[in-house]
Amino acid sequence: MCGIAGILAPDEQLVRRVLPPMMDAQSHRGPDERDSTFLRFGNLTLGFGHLRLKIIDLSSCAHQPMIHPQTGDQIIFNGEIYNFQLLRRELEALGIRFKGHGDTETLLHALTLWGPEATIPRLQGMFAFAYYEVARQRLVLARDSIGIKPIYIARIPGGFIFASEIRGLLASGLLDTTLDLRGVASLLAYGAVQHPLTLFKSIQSFPAGHYQILTPESFANGYDAEAGLRRFWSFPAPDPGITEQEAVPRVRQIIDDAVRDHLISDVPTGVFLSSGLDSTIVAGVAARHTPHLRSFTVGFADQPDLSECQLARETADTFGLRHTEVQVTADEALAATQSWLRALDLPSMDGLNVYVISGAVRRQGITVALSGQGGDELFGGYPTFVEVPRLRSMAAKAAWMPAAFRKSLARVATVGKSEAVRQKAVGLAGSNGGILSLYLHRRRAMSDPQLQSLGLDAHALALTEDYLPPEAAAEAAVNPRDVVWSVSRLESQFYMGNMLLRDGDANGMAHSLEIRVPLLDQRLLDYALAIPGSVRLPAGARPKYLLRQAFPELLRPALQRQGKRGFELPVRRWMLGPLRELCQSGLQTLRSIDLLNSASLDSFWSAFEREPESPIWSRVFTLCVLGLYLRQTKVA
């Protein structure tokens, strides 16, 4: 896990001047080593910068930017390639000789020998890299299939820049920092900015599952983010031929292989262990492959009723893990919250928990942590897997009613509920009844009226009626005959892709901690996402049915019985107490730059004070976080 930065421009002195501050801004991603190279790219100068967090091959043989000894090709790489040993054996059989034992060297030789077109689709891992091919004067950017590792890109006069984090691009001083109201609207609508948008008109997120090949001719008329862009992975369609009898042992074997491969490391490795099924399965399988595995559970000392520590401790004892409980006090969690706000790369409704947990684990001397992320999306762990089919059935029965009448009924049916809940119900009632519309309304944070009251109208901003960028909506494929498959696809693209994975990377790397996600292994994505919904989550079955069937020996009854839980912080209470002044400061920043309607901002805060335990708190918190982020990035 590392940080990368690059710049391509006509002015060599500018390239040499700008690259160091881009790297400085991301120093937390690679505290162990840093280096840069500069080379000609036609009439342009290309600068590669790399920040290294040493994990596999701690020697100088894995130093980056890495240069091919014969061709001079170069690579800067962030992530891990889990099948690199298999690729290495193939390359060795073809006569390649390696100096070290890391995955970056394997990747560089594969790209040089086989080319990006043949190599990238074969990679199993999480990755974001830039590769320069000297002989053919080609620059290649690539990002893993599901988007675990980020790349952000921006156009500059005569060229472009890219980096692992937005702060790296902003540190260049070359970009127009005009805010993109589309990004702001999507953040407030869903709690996270929706790809490919960011908060800045000049910056985009590079698409997952794609690579881009650029030549000097690509810049004749300026950088085009679509030029040379090629897709190497797509979500698989449901395969009706897969049966439960086939799926259970296959899922079991793939997860076993994935966890084994995700344990490869030359530095201390641990596993996040909660009382949930996903982390329990990952920990249980990992314990079979490595002795003396360390596990970590983080609890909030002031809320023992929400703690997962006892169940996690029992799990660790059962698997023979060396277990550590990290109890976070209210003062520590509050300090971490304030630190998190200062460390943000992009605002999010979520991410604070990952930041707190990652910091606690990193302080225990761990550099790599395995997470159970992905189990909910692939195997049906979220309420949306049950609610969207139910809502779809209700919508079909009420389709004859005018939308306005359905909305009125929803308001009547939710009398006595909080205003946030009522607005959610009205939004669902007003949807077109399709799977995509129902899913998006179910996942929405702010409703249409709330966004419009802030001055954010979807049509005026050239967003879809669901406040998505049109290109993202176009990618949101559903299958009307398989609602479970469709929800899995949508959860993976939107909630996980735009929020959970982005927050996991940014908040883990803020502490120089690599978070690995074996349940998002490429082999599992390719197989599990093709399993029909009737097999993955049969009607009436408990959440994650297929995982329960695949690993019954790891899931004792106490875990099977409990509902979904998680590490929770009392942020809503802090907002009325020790975080009140900071939150008000964030809202004042939004007022001062006239970004959103001031009267509406006041109304949001008043609603929160009236109903602090209702879901409105998270909407207000997102507004506060947005304001604080804009102030610290000196946009406001």
For residues 127 and 3, the answer to whether their CB atoms sit within 8 Å is: no
| CA angle, residues 154, 206, 121, in degrees to nearest 5 | 140
613 burial level (CB within 10 Å; 0-12, 13-18, 19+): exposed
For residues 199 and 509, the answer to whether their CB atoms sit within 8 Å is: no
| Res 574: pLDDT | 87
Domains and CATH numbers, the chain: 2-231 (3.60.20.10), 244-300+309-338+348-380+489-561 (3.40.50.620), 384-482 (no CATH), 571-632 (no CATH)
| Res 305: pLDDT | 61
Give the residue among 142, 143, 150 at the shortest CA–CA distance from 192: 150
Average pLDDT taken over every residue of the chain: 92
State pLDDT tens for residues 496-549. Answer: 999 999 999 999 999 999 999 999 999 999 999 999 999 999 999 999 999 999
Give the residue among 294, 296, 354, 350 at the shortest CA–CA distance from 326: 296
Query: Which run of H or of E encompasses 93?
Result: helix 84-93
354 burial level (CB within 10 Å; 0-12, 13-18, 19+): buried
For the segment 90-109, the average pLDDT, to the nearest whole number, is 96
Bond before 65 cis per omega within 30 degrees: yes
For residues 442 and 433, the answer to whether their CB atoms sit within 8 Å is: no
* 45/47 Cα distance (integer angstroms): 7
| Res 428: pLDDT | 74
| Tokens 């590769």 sit on residue | 131
Report the amino acid identity of residue 333.
A
325: left (phi over 0), alpha (psi -120 to 50) or beta: beta
* 380/254 Cα distance (integer angstroms): 18
What is the signed CA dihedral for 376, 549, 293, 333, rounded to 10 degrees? 30
The fraction of the chain above a pLDDT of 70, given in percent, is 98
| CA angle, residues 591, 344, 441, in degrees to nearest 5 | 70
200 DSSP assignment:
B
Kindly report which listed range (245-249, 296-300, 311-315, 488-492) carries the lowest average pLDDT score.
Answer: 296-300
For residues 158 and 10, the answer to whether their CB atoms sit within 8 Å is: yes
* 34/4 Cα distance (integer angstroms): 10
391 pLDDT above the threshold of 90: no
For residues 163 and 191, the answer to whether their CB atoms sit within 8 Å is: no
Give the residue among 362, 357, 359 at the shortest CA–CA distance from 268: 362
Can you give the pTM of this predicted structure? 0.95
| Res 393: pLDDT | 82
| CA angle, residues 485, 506, 378, in degrees to nearest 5 | 15
State pLDDT tens for residues 439-473. Answer: 999 999 999 999 999 999 999 999 999 999 999 99
User: 3-state secondary structure string, 478-496?
Assistant: CCCCCHHHHHHHHHHHHHH
| CA angle, residues 299, 273, 508, in degrees to nearest 5 | 80
* 100/484 Cα distance (integer angstroms): 45
| Res 310: pLDDT | 86
